[in-house]
Amino acid sequence: MSSSSVVVVTGASSGIGRVTAEMFVARGCRVFGTARDVRKAPALPGVEFVEMDVREEGSVQAGIESVIQKATRIDVLVNNAGMMMIGAVEETATEEAATLFDTNVLGMLRVTRAVLPYMRSQHRGRIVNISSVLGVLPAPYMGMYAATKHAVEGLSESLDHEVRQFGIRATLVQPAFTRTNLDLNAPRVKARIADYDRERDVVALAVAESVSKAPEPQGVANTIVEAALGPWRMRCTPPGEASLLTKLRRFLPAGPVDASLRKKLGLA
């Protein structure tokens, strides 16, 4: 991909998406950022905002068509829009799980499906899907979120096999906790079970502390831009904790990894 690429970043009004969009602009790209309500989107120099709700098929199709009308092509898609949730698996209502999957997995599918016909016709493109360290290292009380990110991992790897014949590659970026509103304001499940209160509260406190000490989104955003414009790799992990955790998962026996995770979350 070149620095003059046309880039679409979903969920670009705040957090990682916002900083990523700004970095693409700094690299000379033409950038379209999506937001559910463009009236609430911040004014980002060089970023053209498009209204899109990744949970609605019609909204996604209309948003992508408006980008094509303005730019005639899409070279890079960054599937960044997502949500998080804290709660035990048993406490999670089916409707809550469905909402999470609808945003984090099916939302990604909707936008990818809308973009691919244009990328296939131009015989080039890069799709960057934002996963998480929890997509390879699940944590307690974040089971449904981890499940969505495991789904993103599988979807992305299969997708890459299928689309490379058209000159398109799919890749994953796996951040750890980042200082954003997504992590700070993660909703909790509604129907809580008292038996889980002590551990859930301990984990929620540990997560809040990790987020408060976590790096700003710039490191993750830089990894996303390199994943989009640089040489292809299936998985790209930001430096720091994310890189360390993915290496631990890959190279250490399961027992020590399990114990280390529980200790970090205050459950040891």
d(CA 88, CA 92): 6
- Go through the chain and tell me how many residues it has: 268
* Residue 111: exposure state from Cβ atoms within 10 A (0-12, 13-18, ≥19): buried
Helix (H) or strand (E) holding 223: helix 218-229
Told to judge if 156 belongs to the known catalytic residues of this protein, a careful annotator would answer no
The structure tokens listed for 251 are 């190279």
67-119-121 Cα angle (round to 5): 110
- Choosing from 131, 132, 156, 196, the catalytic residue is 131
Told to judge if 131 belongs to the known catalytic residues of this protein, a careful annotator would answer yes
Task: Name the packing angle between helices 241-251 and 254-264 (round to 10°).
Answer: 150
Told to judge if 121 belongs to the known catalytic residues of this protein, a careful annotator would answer no
- Choosing from 13, 118, 132, 156, the catalytic residue is 13
Told to judge if 145 belongs to the known catalytic residues of this protein, a careful annotator would answer yes
- Choosing from 118, 132, 141, 145, the catalytic residue is 145
Distances (CA, A) of 34 to 85, 105, 111, 147, 223: 22, 17, 11, 25, 20
* Residue 95: exposure state from Cβ atoms within 10 A (0-12, 13-18, ≥19): exposed
Widest Cα–Cα separation across the chain: 56
- Choosing from 132, 149, 156, 196, the catalytic residue is 149
Proportion of the chain in helix, strand, coil states, percent, rounded to 5:
55, 15, 30
d(CA 227, CA 197): 40
User: Which amino acids are annotated catalytic?
Assistant: 13, 131, 145, 149
